[in-house]
């Protein structure tokens, strides 16, 4: 493995610094894969000549790939830097598939607010809307009807509260497209900023208009299926072979 691909458990802040000044910071993880080790090695060799605020980590869940991980940054700075990252990926043979994912971290603040994020994303009245916006339903990002994760050892919830310093949104499909990835980041920002006033998914749509988010993001929020009234979901969705642990 190339020495510039760091261990998956390495703390980013041991190498990179926070960027900007904000009440809370965002970080992004973009998993990409390649057709061959040669393509991956060429990608890695070029990567650090182009980026100083991102690094590459091992990602064992994909066969021939890496995880692109950002410094903690303000929302505005990260939006600004994503265009070059996505362009670099598309110009250097990086690919996405059902094996790759997009994870977004945001600083933990008040514990009760972090729990509210978990509850809002997992609330069954929002289920089809959240799945429609995120683009996938995955065993690596399971939804639950519980108000708090039962399984303290699993990282497979839609919202991971186990990280010491961040809340991790794990729900998003990866597309190497600027509007798609920034739309996911905008979603997390909207939820984080407004978590104490959010009751249902349609609140996000109203807030996106009030806060002047771009049209492509508002259109994506609005173009989802509605959760049928009184629809029942299992405690964990998708269902696990080991339901007792969830």
- pTM of the entire predicted model: 0.96
Task: Give whole-number Cα distances, 43 to 7, 75, 78, 156, 224, in Å.
Answer: 17, 26, 21, 29, 35
> Positive or negative, the Cα torsion across 229, 230, 231, 235?
positive
pLDDT band at 3; cut points 50, 70, 90: low
Instruction: Summarize pLDDT for 63-73 with one digit per residue, the tens.
Output: 899 999 999 99
Distance CA 13, CA 82 (A): 19
Distance CA 178, CA 48 (A): 21
Please give the tally of structural domains in the chain.
Answer: 1
Is 79 domain-assigned? yes
Is 244 domain-assigned? no
Is 153 domain-assigned? yes
Is 199 domain-assigned? yes
pLDDT band at 59; cut points 50, 70, 90: confident
Q: Determine how many CB atoms are found less than 10 A away from the CB of residue 60.
A: 8
pLDDT above 90: residue 154: no
Is 246 domain-assigned? no
Per the prediction, the chain carries an average pLDDT of: 95
Is 242 domain-assigned? no
User: In the numeric block, which tokens belong to residue 201?
Assistant: 């998914």
Of 2-11, 107-116, 204-213, the range with the lowest mean pLDDT is 2-11
Instruction: Summarize pLDDT for 87-123 with one digit per residue, the tens.
Output: 999 999 999 998 899 999 999 999 899 999 999 999 9
Q: Which domain holds residue 203?
A: 5-237
Is 56 domain-assigned? yes
Q: Which residue has the higher pLDDT, 3 or 229?
A: 229
Distance CA 144, CA 119 (A): 9
Q: For residues 67 and 59, is the Cβ–Cβ distance under 8 A? A: yes
pLDDT band at 62; cut points 50, 70, 90: confident
Q: Compute the C-alpha angle 156/158/163, nearest 5°.
A: 65
Q: What is the pLDDT of residue 1?
A: 41
Is 203 domain-assigned? yes
Q: Which residues contact 241 (CB under 8 A, 6 or more apart)?
A: none
Nearest CA among 64, 72, 88 for reference residue 29: 72
Q: What integer is the mean pLDDT of 59-83? A: 94
Instruction: Summarize pLDDT for 13-45 with one digit per residue, the tens.
Output: 999 999 999 999 999 999 999 999 999 999 999
Q: What is the pLDDT of residue 130?
A: 98
CATH code at position 173 = 3.30.590
């Amino acid at each position: 493995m190339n020495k510039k691909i760091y261990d998956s458990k390495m703390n980013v802040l041991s190498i990179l610094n926070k960027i900007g000044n904000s009440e809370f910071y965002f970080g992004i993880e973009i998993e990409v894969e390649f057709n061959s080790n040669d393509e991956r090695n060429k990608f890695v060799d070029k990567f650090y000549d182009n980026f100083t605020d991102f690094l590459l980590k091992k990602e064992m869940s994909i066969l021939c790939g890496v995880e692109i991980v950002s410094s903690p940054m303000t929302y505005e700075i990260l939006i600004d830097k994503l265009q070059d990252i996505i362009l670099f990926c598309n110009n250097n043979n990086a690919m996405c598939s059902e094996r790759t994912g997009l994870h977004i971290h945001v600083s933990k603040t008040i514990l009760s607010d972090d729990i509210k994020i978990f509850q809002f994303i997992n609330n069954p009245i929002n289920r089809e809307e959240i799945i429609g916006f995120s683009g996938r339903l995955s065993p690596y990002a399971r939804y639950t009807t519980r108000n708090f994760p039962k399984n303290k050892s699993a990282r497979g919830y839609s919202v991971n509260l186990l990280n010491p310093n961040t809340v991790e949104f794990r729900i998003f499909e990866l597309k190497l497209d600027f509007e798609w990835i920034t739309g996911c980041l905008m979603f997390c920002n909207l939820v984080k900023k407004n978590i104490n006033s959010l009751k249902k998914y349609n609140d996000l749509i109203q807030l996106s208009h009030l806060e002047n988010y771009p049209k492509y993001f508002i259109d994506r929020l609005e173009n989802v299926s509605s959760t049928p009234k009184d629809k029942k979901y299992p405690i964990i969705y998708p269902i696990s072979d080991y339901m007792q642990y969830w």
